[in-house]
A = this chain, B = another copy of it.
Amino acid sequence: MPEPLRLGIAGLGTVGTGVVRIVQTHAALIERRTGRQVVISAVSARSRTRNRAVDLSGYAWEDDPVALARREDVDVFVEVMGGSEGVAKAATEAAIAAGKDVVSANKALLAHHGQALAEAAEAKGHVIRFEAAVAGGIPVIKALTEGLAGNEIRRVMGVMNGTCNYILTRMESAGLPYDQVFEEARQLGYLEADPNLDVGGIDAGHKLSLLAAIAFGTRVSFDAVELEGIGRISIDDIRRAGDMGYKIKLLGVAQMTGRGLEQRMTPCLVPADSPLGQLHGGTNMVVLEGDSVGQIVLRGAGAGEGPTASAVLSDVIEIARGTRLSTFGQPAATLTEPVAARAAAPAPYYLRMELADKPGALAKVATVLGEEGISIDRMRQYAHADSTVAPVLIVTHKCTRDAVSHALSRLPATGVVLSEAVSIRIESV
């Protein structure tokens, strides 16, 4: 029997507590599956006295995560604190410098500093694993890095922020406006301290950038992710999109195109009867497309104590079994600097506008669209109580976003469009 694998756990919030709980309750199961014991040597958190409903008495305590990371009796530094800078970064760097393996749930840290951290770890023959950083309990890092390793990856998509998906599906099911559901989510504790991390798409964008690095063998480039949050999505658009057979999701898409690497985390329409369209509430979904395997869909809880701790444990068990993988599926030094695509690939767009209800109004809009090279796939005009305004929905054929933006900017001059037109990309899934 090899020596026990000794963990140092930095962070005892929901996830850290969950990790402690699994290590304690499943010690025998883990030993059976790895051939060695997995034990906790030491822990660290901001408050030593907070009641966490797990017994920490058998572990050394460190006030400073950096000191924890350097301890002689720690083989694997488990970072479940969060934050892209500060102590999380310092402690992770210290762990690597001290020759430890690292298991991290910290998407922000890896999205900003993953390249440097991976190079440092790999130079010393140590690993950084981060299954818990993306889509909670869904083993998507493993599926992409290993399960689909024989594929050239074509596209990665995902609904990876459960709070946003909760807000959008709750708006639809309860017929409530964004602001009200946002407030509900806040009161339920679903939102980060800085809610823009959730509803601004930043958190999900971090995750997308990590998946893109593995998928395309490129350095993590979070700064190149096009980010748009869900704040402008109205209950009107959710309903109208539904009428046309679509759902609105905060959807991440990464694909390598002839024009470079495209990374977007933006509201999109997806077919209501697709797996992504059928995803309700806080559940996450990742779609992986490879040249041989076709489309693989993974669905599960994207957050919470159990699912996230399960992902941390899968990395710990991987290390305990002696598996040594590069952080991003190939040596970090071989990752290429991606060229960011300047614009998203062409797609159909959903357009919503309110027209003056008078003869020729629609013709004027159609003329503008036609002049910008946008052809109309489907159009629907709604009956209206107010006889001066006609709500109109248009689904276009594939066109560029530049064409849509340009056309929309010309609409006010027609004199028949009574409010700002809304456009949302329709992603083919």
User: Which residues of A does B touch, CB under 8 Å?
Assistant: 18, 22, 26, 29-30, 32-35, 131, 137-139, 142-143, 146-152, 217, 273, 275, 278, 290-301, 304, 306-307, 309-314, 316-318, 321-325, 329-331, 334
Contact = CB atoms under 8 A, between A and B. Distances in A.
A321 B314 contact: no
Given A22-B292, A299-B296, A324-B322, A29 B152 contact: yes
Given A138-B296, A300-B297, A318 B150 contact: no
Contacts of A22: 150, 292
**Residue with the highest number of chain B CB atoms closer than 10 Å, among A148, A217, A325:** A148
Given A30-B149, A33-B149, A148-B314, 5 more contacts: A148-B310, A149-B314, A150-B312, A292-B306, A298-B298
Contact of A32 (B142, B278, B330): B330
Q: Is the interface of A mostly helix, strand, loop or mixed?
A: mixed
Contacts of A297: 297-300
Contacts of A334: 32
Contacts of A300: 293-297
A214 to B, nearest CB: 10
Contacts of A304: 294
Contacts of A295: 300-301
B314 A147 contact: yes
A9 to B, nearest CB: 14
B137 A313 contact: no
Contacts of A26: 150-152
7 contacts: A22-B292, A293-B301, A293-B306, A294-B307, A297-B297, A298-B298, A299-B299
B146 A139 contact: yes
Contacts of A138: 296
A296 B139 contact: yes
Nearest to A279: B275
A310 B322 contact: no
A301 B289 CA distance: 11
B150 A309 contact: yes
Given A18-B292, A301-B293, A150 B317 contact: yes
Contacts of A318: 146, 149
Contact of A139 (B32, B143, B325): B143
Contacts of A317: 146, 149-150
A22 B150 CA distance: 7
Contacts of A331: 35
A426 to B, nearest CB: 20
Contact of A142 (B147, B217, B330): B147
A296 B299 CA distance: 6
Contacts of A301: 293-295
